[in-house]
Structure 1
Amino acid sequence: MSNVKNIFQNSPISPLFIAESITKHSTKTEIGAHQIFLGQIRADEIDDKTVKAIEYTAYEDLALTQMATIREEIFIKYNLKCMHIHHSLGVVNTGEICLFVFTSSKHRKDATLACNEVVERIKNELPIWGREIFEDETHQWKINQ
């Protein structure tokens, strides 16, 4: 499948990368709206233990194939000019960004609806798992909410 784009990176997503992504779109003057979702690791308290990081793993080939299908469906459903998706693999500490979804369209409604749908579909349909690592170094598999 030639339209499969790699959404994964083995690190947190840096604020500088996000800023550069936004900056690159300033020359695309047919765009009137951008919608951005940033997923950040929370220091959740679970059973009197605090999360210090999440370690992400994925069945990458399947996830990328499924993401290509989702991408095609979203472009058909909404009048988008651009869509960029970046998801971390490996350990991401609290306060760091693990998911960056960036949609652009002529008008805000398409960008907003598309971004929200992409985030929900990533969480619900892709084989990506997070293992919560607590401050005491114990861990458990995360349940998506």
Structure 2
Amino acid sequence: MKKKPKNIFVEGAIPPEKLATSVANHQDRTNIGAHSIFLGQVRADEIDGKVVEAIEFSAYEEMANETYAAIREEVFEKFDLTCAHVYHSLGTIPVGQLCFYVFTSSQRRKQAMAATEYFVEEIKKRVPIFGKELFEGEGHQWKVNS
């Protein structure tokens, strides 16, 4: 029987305390020499005179988790990592709040940093996660990753 992929989704914004907890949970792993962390935060972009006040995230969750699992396998084949954790928000996330979190650990910083960048780029390209930018007042548009 095939193992069900890890669920990377959290409902709502990712709390900043998650960062401190992640670091604390790895302090007893003395073979780790570096952590690399990427935090995606919702910006108050101005688009055609309208200001983004939030992003509403949705996903094809089963497909997204399967695609993430494949990317995770690639990352562990390409980079010498000790561990990796990824979370992405679902629901409406207001500006200033965290919506995407990648945390990698390795013996050496270059491996952790390269793995984090690879995770971010591949997830943005391949994982079916959609963001609807909600404007102040009313209106919306689908977000295009850049």
Separation of aligned partners in 2, 1:71 and 1:4:
10
1:54 aligns to what?
Answer: 55
**1:137 Cα deviation (Å)?**
2.3
**1:4 Cα deviation (Å)?**
1.2
Closer/same/farther in 2, CA of residues 3 and 79 from structure 1, 3 Å limit? farther
2:23 aligns to what?
Answer: 22
Separation of aligned partners in 1, 2:138 and 2:81:
43
CA RMSD of aligned residues (A): 0.8
1:138 aligns to what?
Answer: 139
2:114 aligns to what?
Answer: 113
The question of 1:87 aligning with 2:88 is answered yes
Separation of aligned partners in 2, 1:22 and 1:136:
39
Unaligned runs of 5+ in 1: none
Q: Please, what TM-score do these two structures have when normalized by structure 1?
A: 0.98
Task: Please list every run of at least 4 consecutive aligned residues from structure 1 whose deviation after the TM superposition is greater than 2 angstroms.
Answer: none
**1:3 Cα deviation (Å)?**
6.0
The one-character-per-residue Cα deviations of 1:3-62 (angstroms, maximum 9, x if unpaired) are: 611100111000112211111111111000000000000000000000000000000000
**1:94 Cα deviation (Å)?**
0.3
Conserved in 2, the CA contact under 8 Å of 1:3 and 1:68?
no
Conserved in 2, the CA contact under 8 Å of 1:8 and 1:89?
yes
Aligned residues: 145
The one-character-per-residue Cα deviations of 1:114-136 (angstroms, maximum 9, x if unpaired) are: 00000000100000000000011
Identity %: 52
1:28-47 aligned within 5 A: 28-47=29-48
